[in-house]
Chains A and B, each alone.
Chain A
Amino acid sequence: MDAEYGLKALRVRSKMTDPRISVIEGRLKKVNSILAVSSGKGGVGKSLIASTLSLALASKGYEVGLFDIDFTNPSTHIILNAEGISPTEENGVVPPKIHGLKYMSIIYYSGKRVSPLRGVDMSNALIELLAITRWGSIDFLVIDMPPGISDAILDLIRLVKKTSFLMVTTSSKLAFETVRKLTSLLLELRVPVIGVIENMKMRESSFIQEQVKGMGLRFLGEIPFDYSLEEAIGDVDKLLKTLFAQKVEELAEKIISQPLRN
Chain B
Amino acid sequence: MHEWALAEAVVSTVSQIAEREGLRRVTEVKLKVGELQQIEMEILRFALSELKRSSLLEDTEFIIETEKAELTCRVCGHKWFFKRIEIDENAAEAIHFIPEIAHVYIRCPRCGSPDFEVTRGRGVWLESIKGAKQDD
Is B132 in the interface zone, CB < 8 Å from A?
Answer: yes
Determine how close the nearest CB of chain A comes to the CB of B69; give it in whole angstroms.
Answer: 14
Interface residues of A in 1-41 (CB under 8 A from B): 2, 5-23, 26
Residues of B in contact with A, size category: 35 or more
Once A7-B135, A9-B132, A116-B115 are accepted as A-B contacts, the answer to whether A20 and B9 lie under 8 Å apart by CB is: yes
- Residues of A contacting B6 with CB < 8 Å? 19
- Name the distance in Å between B32's Cβ and chain A's nearest Cβ: 9
Stretch at the interface among B60-68, B78-86, B122-130: B122-130
From 185 to 211 in chain A, residues with beta carbon under 8 angstroms from any chain B beta carbon are: none
Q: Which of B93-113 contact A (CB under 8 A)?
A: 94, 97-101, 103-105
Interface majority SS on A: helix, strand, loop or mixed?
Answer: mixed
On chain A, the number of residues with a Cβ less than 8 Å from chain B's Cβ atoms is 44
- Cβ B104 vs Cβ A10 within 8 A: no
Most buried by A among B1, B94, B99, B122: B1
Interface CB pairs A-B, < 8 A, 18? A5-B24, A10-B133, A12-B17, A12-B128, A12-B131, A14-B127, A19-B9, A19-B125, A92-B8, A110-B101, A115-B103, A115-B104, A116-B104, A116-B115, A117-B103, A125-B101, A128-B97, A129-B98
The 8 closest A-B pairs by CB, nearest first: A7-B132, A92-B5, A109-B94, A19-B9, A17-B126, A91-B4, A19-B13, A125-B100
